[in-house]
Amino acid sequence: MSTPLNRSDLPSVAVLGAGKMGEILAVGILRAALAPPLQVHLSDINRSRVADLVGKHGFSSETTNADAVDKADVILLSVKPQDIGAVLDEIAPRVRSEHVVISIAAGITTRSIEAKLPASTAVVRAMPNAAAAVGEGVTAICGGSSATEEHLALAERLLGGVGGVLRVAEGYIDAVTAISGSGPAYVALFAEAIIDAGVTVGLSRPIATELALRTVSGTAAMMSKGGMAPAAVREAVTSPGGTTAMALAELERAGVRAAVLNAVQAAAERARALSGEGRTER
């Protein structure tokens, strides 16, 4: 068994990969006061990108992934799926029994990561989504064979800096990808459609955009903060024979529910297929 991380102070984190999501998660750690800037050790093959982020946020810049790992309690793998094998090969000799490895590489299983690292390394797989950029993300996590409750709690703590965290069995990660990973694109497409429809019925595009975006965010708040079920919101807005009833009837005739179901199933199937190849995309 790997040694549980049991520190009274804040953990140091090696963020391997300074891409968009790597930056989002690293900044989330800072904003949530989960670690000070100099305990976030950033490494990326793009040195200018690292220099830029160090200048903006005060992270510790490391020359190599292995150097970052040497200074960290937690290893956050935020590299592209096609690059993870090479990165794991590089850091494996430096991974210690007390390390916790958190991977956000889509489609890469905990088992495949464990196979590249020392026996009994604690590995946690995570699937964040794009809303993490504004602190409203949702991340699903699952533990590998050596991950304990303490390791999962630590992952929840760190990833909670950018939104909510849910635990799922690893077998459901592809379904998570289809719902929350790809989900912002579905919502954005619906918002686009509302905006275009608003322009069609005579509104200016700026006004249609403001109305649509505030409606989307407000409705989400009614459900998430107000505790209303989606069906309850729909029923509260819909009067018999009214405008909303007419609109919903058209959506039902167009097969919107079936289209959403088909879209999510297609995304989940694609995620499963690409996971089998050791990579995925959204």
Domain residue extents for the chain: 13-173, 183-274
From the list 6, 8, 44, the residue with the least C-alpha distance to 26 is 44
Mean pLDDT of the chain: 92
**pLDDT score recorded for residue 7:** 43
**pLDDT score recorded for residue 104:** 94
Q: Domain 183-274 - what CATH class?
A: mainly alpha
From the list 157, 145, 102, the residue with the least C-alpha distance to 2 is 145
Contact 138, 163 (CB under 8 A): yes
Percent of the chain with pLDDT strictly greater than 90 = 89
pLDDT in tens, 200-209: 999 999 999 9
Given pLDDT bands bounded at 50, 70 and 90, which one contains residue 9?
low
How far is 97 from 115, CA to CA, in rounded Å? 15
How far is 138 from 131, CA to CA, in rounded Å? 7
**pLDDT score recorded for residue 251:** 97
pLDDT in tens, 210-231: 999 999 999 999 999 999 999 9
CATH code, residues 13-173: 3.40.50.720
pLDDT in tens, 123-159: 999 999 999 999 999 999 999 999 999 999 999 999 9
Examine the pLDDT at 280 and tell me if it is beyond 60.
Answer: no
Given pLDDT bands bounded at 50, 70 and 90, which one contains residue 276?
low
pLDDT in tens, 50-82: 999 999 999 999 999 999 999 999 999 999 988
CA dihedral 43, 46, 51, 56 (to 10 degrees): -90
**pLDDT score recorded for residue 106:** 85
Residue 153's H or E segment, with its range, is helix 149-159
